[in-house]
Amino acid sequence: MPNIETSKYKIVFSEQQEKTADNMASFSNGKEFIDWFFANKNKLENTELFFESKINSISSSDIKNMYEFLKFYLKIKKVCNEGMDNYNNNLLNEEKNEEIKKAISEFVRMNDNGKFLRATLVALGYQSMGKSDDGYLNLALALELFQTSILIHDDIIDNAVLRRGKETIPVSYNNYFKTASDTIQFLAKRQKLSDSMAICIGDLGFYLANELIVQGYKDNKNLGKVLSYYHQTAIKTCKGEMIDIILPFKEEFFETDPQLEEKILEVYKLKSAWYSVIGPFCLGLTLNEIAESKIQKIERILLNVGVAFQIKDDILGIYGDSSLLGKSTNSDIEEYKQTILYSFAMKTQYKEQLLKYYGKPNLTAQNIFEVKNIFEKSGAKKYAEETMERLFKQSIEAIEQTSEFNEKTKTILKGFILYLQNRSK
């Protein structure tokens, strides 16, 4: 084999970007590094990076951990992308019925070009016990199918128009059956059909995910445990969604619940922590026949990561860039979404001012600005950020102290947490 020359690159963190040489880059925070990494990912394959930090806000070891996660993530994402492309193409090619083919094409459209973060955690859980093969792939893809399906249902619940930067399935069907007719009866039936098709397509995705697991591991003696853990993850997610739906209704039309924040955190644990972090990683472990007692210890370690992940999502949902998020940053406000930003602000003198806008339709840009301002003035944004930072810090400390992971897994997991902390989408 030919020798591949390894180039060397120096990464420096300082208060201000320093003048850089051709083999050096300078950043002032983790977000800038993430943006630079993805912009230059193709050039870094045979590059050894050296890290130096001149500021206290981020250490060189933190950035090295994040870099190791990003490398692992891109490697797994490439495998999963290829696997999902093949799966999607087979889905489309198998169906002859015109209406079903249209429905499957809608599912494939929403399923295409995912971020594969959950799939990466499945792979990490699977490979954390010393394996290096891609035996995780069917399980990782199944979890991505489940995610697509639950988001399709979520879009009906939220009346969302955008998901992953694309029009949602109800919006797509409404446009597909657009005619010159604008009678009330036609518009109502078209909307019902569009929502009904989205429900059916989401349901189809759940069973496609199950079938992918069964077909991928039918000869694996651990299939029963894998399916059971997958189903328990899905059940917890559904329970979290139920609370998430009920809370805004009760908050808008009944008295404010004195335990509102605790119930919001319960949603974060059931829905976000299990669905986005614990479930994926521990599914990979379960495929490896890891003892249940060990998995339970790891569940406890990862719980705070999932809660902090959702708090970050809620902050981005108000203050993020909609072009990066792939959805409107007005939606959480207009849908009366219950977050710890909201629950904190409701206990302050700004309660009545917030209720002038929160949960109201057709808000102007100025109205949205007022809500953002209220969250800042009331201390809600600061409280959410401090809670998130504390949970992320506790998670990293727990990972460093545990004997459940080898050093490579610890490095990648810590890098994953730092990535979540610094992400902008």
Q: What does 367-412 look like in DSSP terms, one character per residue?
A: HHHHHHHHHHHTTHHHHHHHHHHHHHHHHHHHHHH-SSS-HHHHHH
pLDDT digits (tens, 9 = 90+) for 389-420: 999 999 999 999 999 999 999 999 999 999 99
Q: Does 253 score more than 60 pLDDT?
A: yes
Per-residue pLDDT at 246 exceeds 70: yes
DSSP 42: G
Domains and CATH numbers, the chain: 1-58 (no CATH), 59-422 (1.10.600.10)
| Average of per-residue pLDDT values in the chain | 91
- Predicted pLDDT at 142: 97
Can you give the pLDDT at residue 22? 75
Which tokens in the block code for residue 35?
A: 């943006």
Per-residue pLDDT, 3: 41
pLDDT of 293 strictly over 70: yes
- CA 141 to chain CA centroid, nearest Å: 15
**Average pLDDT rounded to a whole number, residues 187-191:** 94
Mean pLDDT confidence for 369-389: 96
pLDDT at residue 4, as a whole number: 42
Nearest alpha carbon to residue 415 among 164, 139, 120, 137: 120
- What per-residue confidence (pLDDT) applies to 1? 37
- What is the per-residue pLDDT across 307-326, written as a single tens digit (0 to 9) for each? 999 999 999 999 987 766 65
Token digits of residue 404: 């459940």
pLDDT at position 57 over 90 = no
175: pLDDT strictly greater than 90: yes
Which string of b and e fits 246-261 if b means at least 16 CB within 10 Å?
ebbeebeeeeeeeebb
Q: What is the pLDDT of residue 279?
A: 97
Q: For residue 114, what pLDDT band results from cuts at 50, 70 and 90? A: confident
> What's the rounded Cα separation, in Å, for the pair 339 and 375?
11
Categorize the per-residue pLDDT at 8 as very low, low, confident or very high, splitting at 50, 70 and 90: confident
Closest among 235, 239, 296 to 263, alpha carbons compared: 239
Q: Find the helix or strand (DSSP H, E) in which 266 lies.
A: helix 260-267
Q: How far apart are CA 324 and CA 77, in angstroms?
A: 19
pLDDT band at 197 (very low <50, low <70, confident <90, very high): very high
pLDDT value at 2 more than 50: no
Percent of the chain whose predicted confidence (pLDDT) is above 70:
95
* Contact (Cβ atoms closer than 8 angstroms) between residue 264 and residue 296: no
List, in sequence order, every residue forming a beta bridge with 47; answer none if it has no partner: 7
Beta bridge partners of 163: 166
Hey, which residues does 13 pair with through a beta bridge?
A: 27, 53
- Whether 357 has a pLDDT exceeding 50, the answer reads yes
